[in-house]
Structures are given as C-alpha cells and as structure tokens.
Structure 1
Amino acid sequence: MDDIKKRHLKVARVHDLNDPFEFEVATADRGVRRAFRAVKDWLHESIGILCFSRDWNDPVQWAHYADRHRGICLGFDIPREQLDTVIYSETLTEPSEALLQEAGNDRWEHFKQIISTKYIHWQYEKEERVYVDLRREEPDKDGHHFTDFSDEISLKEIIVGHRSTLTRDELKDALGDLASQVSLCKARLAFKSYTVVPQLNQSLW
C-alpha cells in the first residue's frame, strides 16, 4: 500500500536477493571464483533489480511473496524490450575468463546471463527482470533505492489476496487520481485445481 501511495517500487540489490546462488558460476578455480565474487560486489553497488512474474495464478507465489495470500499483487505494463527473461537451468553457468578481463557490452551481457540464470526449481516464478542503474539515483535516508511508476513501468491492475481484508475504497484512496486507470480484482482459490483465479462474484468483495 505504501508503494501504491508513493507510486514507486523498491529496487532489490544483488546481495539482498533470497537465492545465494545468484551470480555463482560453474568453476572449481579459486581465482576465477574470487574474481566473479568481486564482480558480484560491484554489481551490488551499481545495478538494482526489479523482479516480476508473467502471471499471478500460482498459489506458491502467493504463499511465499504475499504474506500467505493476505497481501496484494500489482500488475504492470512494461515494454518487452525492457525485460530480461530469467533462464531456469539444472546447471550453473560456465564463466568466461576472457570476458572477465574485457570491457563493453559483451562483458555486461555475459554478467547479465549469469545473474539471469536460476536453478530450475525456481521456474514456478516465471520471472522477468528489469535492471536499474543505481549510480544514476541517490538512495533514501535508509540506503534504499526506488523506481517511480512511469510510462515504462505502468500500474494497470491490483489483485487482492483471497485472505486479505483490504477493501475497494481503501485501494481507491491509495490510488488517488490513478484509480480510474487501474483495475481492481479480488482473488479466490479455484474450485477444481491448484490455481488462484479472479473472484467474479462482486457481492463477495
């Protein structure tokens, strides 16, 4: 609700992500591992991440990321070219020692491939990422970075968890003059499958 009122999203940083395998590489060479971990430290200071999912219907995501279905899901329109699709793999990415020593786009693309690859068991998230240059913006007083809603990160819908007590009026108050542009929906559990679906009976919300 605070993000809705302030019209921004908190930017995640590499060391704060919940998977410790983020930016790990497949090598037993101690020097190469040390070098890539130094790059990981640089990425933590320089690059932020906004994490999205392609849909909101998986009950595991509601359990993990929405306070056991008591939270809300925000739906955004984002240009396709702004998004990087996470790759799910059974193996770690092979590091390129040559690119580690170079500068330029090839080096960044290699780093982005590594940080965009996750263990295959994370695939239920259907994750898409937007990378943010932290060097262009000052953090707040607590050291956090935020990205404002914009034409490229445009809030279009809010799905309220089936255990949430939030009302339409509370959401409309938080949205202010965005209320007419954002659709509101209550979620419910599907009757015949492990799926979260829209509640079509408006009298129940």
Structure 2
Amino acid sequence: MNFFKYYSANPKASSEEIFAPLRYHSLRYVSADQFNDPYDSKCFFETLDGNRDDSLSDTINRHLRIACMSRNPHSPIMWAHYATHHAGYVLGYNLENLPNKAVEYEDIEPFCYSTSKIREAILKKYPDVSSSELGDVMKEYLLSDDSYMQYLMDAIFTKHLDWKYEEEHRFIDFNQEGMSDKYIDIDIGTTNVESILLGYKFDHEKLDYELKSIIKDVFGGSIDVYKAEPSLEKYAMKFKPYKL
C-alpha cells in the first residue's frame, strides 16, 4: 500500500537539511498542537463561565505523536501548501506493516463537551457538590466516562470536509507516561522508501547532486525518481521518470 509525504525545500536550507528524511529514511511523528488546522485533534471543554478549556486536547498532545501521510501525490494544492510551492518533493512509501487509520471527513462542528449536560448529570449524581468544586468534578466525570476515549479518537481521526482532498492517513505513536518532545523521528528502513517525486519547480542545479549521492550511497541506486508537471487533461500533477 502506497502512502505519500510532502516535503519542503526551503531555499535558505542546505541540501543536507532538505533531504534529511530521505538520507535517514525517517518518518516524523509530531504533537497534534503543531497541526495547521486549529480544530484538528482538539477536544474542547466549555467552563462554567463560558470560556474554553483545552485540558482535554492536552491529553492528546501529551500522550500521542502523529505522522500524517496522504494517498494522493497528485494534488496541486498540497504541492503548493506542503512542498514549497512545487519546489519541494514527495516521498512514496510502502508502509503496510505500520498500523494506520484513514481520516474521515465530515461537515463537523467543533468537538466540544456541553457544559450544561455534564452539569445536570453531576448535580443529579452529587447533589451536594459546591459551585467551587463543580469544575474539577466535571473533568473527573469526563475522565471516568467510557465514551471519553472514543471522543478523543473521533477528534484525532475526523477532519472537516474542506480537507478531503488530502486523503490523509495517520500513524500513531502512543506513550502512556507522556512525551515532552514535540516530535520524534522514527527510522522506517530503506526498503520502505519506494520513490521520490520532484516538484515541477524543483531546483535541479542546487539539489540534483546531493539527491543522486543519497540514492547511490543509501539506497544502492534502487529508488525510482519522477518529475512532476501539470496535467493537460485534468487539474492534477502527473509524473514522468527523471534521470539524474
């Protein structure tokens, strides 16, 4: 099963920095608070005074690191957003042995617990709870709720329909003790890297030599290289074999 990851090629970065994911055949898992969608993997809790509490989202940030991959290497929009306006590249991976889950796309509202419903449930269960204690008791109630974990999973694997073009799959690294680093790089091995797709604005003069050296030294020359160009038949990028 093929998955694709878009990579940038910042003109101020060195070729060594640009190709680090390829040279070290590594996949980066990041904290969800690094995502560009402010609703992505967020599970909000409305406090009694109507403010937003992110402590539920913090559970995701503390215990999970997430690698985001796409099944779609042809999207001009994704090339523009994630691959330095088509000057970057995409790596094609065979990651069938790594557990993953496809993101679902819906016309969703923000994942937010209703304060009024929780308050009613708590006051029915604990009629003598004081107003000063109610906020903390509400959080404890959520943590003991069987649906809590499912709610968090829905927040992680559901995005708004506006993002459907990404055709995203997510790979999860979980640590029950929590993690302090914002990201971790995991070596997935050379055999799982199958191809490299170069953007149609890729800087060949600056980057071809380093790319050729990596393919020879790290992959023994056995990785397919393609060059992207705009299709004349539809709104999509197409690829042709490229010889370094």
Structure 2 unaligned spans of 5+: 1-18, 122-140
Q: Distance in 1 between matches of 2:41 and 2:180?
A: 25
Greater CA radius of gyration, 1 or 2?
2
Task: After TM superposition, give the deviation of residue 194 of structure 1 in Å.
Answer: 1.2
Q: Which amino acid aligns with 1:171?
A: L
1:21 aligns with 2:43: no
User: In the alignment, is the contact (CA less than 8 A) between 1:52 and 1:128 conserved in 2?
Assistant: yes
Question: Secondary structure at 1:145's aligned position in 2?
Answer: strand
Give yes or no for contact 1:25–1:33 (8 Å, CA) kept in 2: no
Match of 2:64 in 1: 47
Query: Which residue in the other structure is 2:189 paired with?
Result: 150
SS at 2:219's partner residue? helix
Contact 2:23 2:218 in 1 (8 A): no
Q: What is the rounded CA distance, in whole Å, between the counterparts of 1:136 and 1:155 in structure 2?
A: 29
State how far apart, in whole Å, the 1-side matches of 2:37 and 2:226 are.
31
Give the unaligned 5+ runs of structure 1: none
Q: Paired residue for 2:129? A: none
Q: TM-score, normalised on structure 1?
A: 0.79
The equivalences for 1:117-156 within 5 A come to 117-133=158-174, 139=181, 144-150=183-189, 154-156=192-194
- CA drift of 1:181 comes to 3.8
Task: Tell me the equivalent position of 1:100.
Answer: 142
Q: Which amino acid in structure 2 is aligned with residue 164 of structure 1?
A: F
The alignment status of 1:172 with 2:192, answered yes or no, reads: no
Structure 2 counterpart SS, 1:158: strand
Give the alignment's Cα RMSD to 1 decimal.
3.3
Q: Residues 65 and 121 (structure 1 numbering): CA distance in 2 closer, same or farther, change over 3 Å?
A: same
1:136 and 1:94 mapped to 2: Cα distance? Answer: 23
Cα deviation, residue 26, structure 1: 7.9
1:115 and 1:7 mapped to 2: Cα distance? 26
Q: Does 1:3 align with 2:21?
A: yes
TM-score normalised over the length of structure 2: 0.67
Is the 8 Å Cα contact of residues 172 and 179 (structure 1) preserved in structure 2?
no
Percent identical: 21
Provide the C-alpha distance between the structure 2 equivalents of 1:75 and 1:21, rounded to a whole number of angstroms.
28
* DSSP 3-state at the match of 1:199: strand
